[in-house]
Structure 1
């Protein structure tokens, strides 16, 4: 009858919906301005938002499973996120 949703899952989904909305809004702005220079600026702004959403979503997920996971696995999760951020950073 009623489906119980985990608070962490709802928080993660809402952040992703927010991120998707920002992406769609940015696409509309690019079309509206119709200039490559402005589109590059908008796209660069999205490059700042993406990693922030990744970190927040991962933090919420880790908080949601904190009582079910060992310390060693926490370390591996943070190493993995660190590798992702290192891989996507601009040079």
Structure 2
């Protein structure tokens, strides 16, 4: 049995597991519907899930290490996430 004493780490991992389950379920639904149109609709919904999980997991991680890193590093990490989100929209 794995014992995790850090609740932030556990929350980050659980968000990623939930995200994976959502992605896997969408893939199964695509196969079930057997339609490119339905697959594109499901893919559109997944386009919201990925960035949301990215932001939530990053935010949790930053909350945990905020006192351990400098303000400059915090800004660089936040900017990186912002650039990823900007790149997804373009």
Q: Normalization by structure 1: what TM-score?
A: 0.90
SS at match of 1:68: coil
Greater length-normalized contact order (CA 8 Å, ≥ 6 residues apart): 1
Count of aligned pairs between the two proteins: 89
Which residue of structure 1 aligns with residue 75 of structure 2?
75
SS at match of 2:67: helix
Q: Which runs of 5+ in 2 are unaligned?
A: none
**1:51-70 residue pairs with structure 2 within 5 A?**
51-70=51-70
Query: Deviations along 1:24-62, whole A, 9 cap, x unmatched?
Result: 110111011111100000011100111000000000000
Q: Normalization by structure 2: what TM-score?
A: 0.91
- Is the Cα–Cα contact under 8 Å of residues 4 and 10 in structure 2 kept in the other structure? no
Runs of 4+ in 1 over 6 A off after TM superposition: none
Q: Which runs of 5+ in 1 are unaligned?
A: none
Question: What do you get for the CA RMSD once the two structures are aligned?
Answer: 1.4
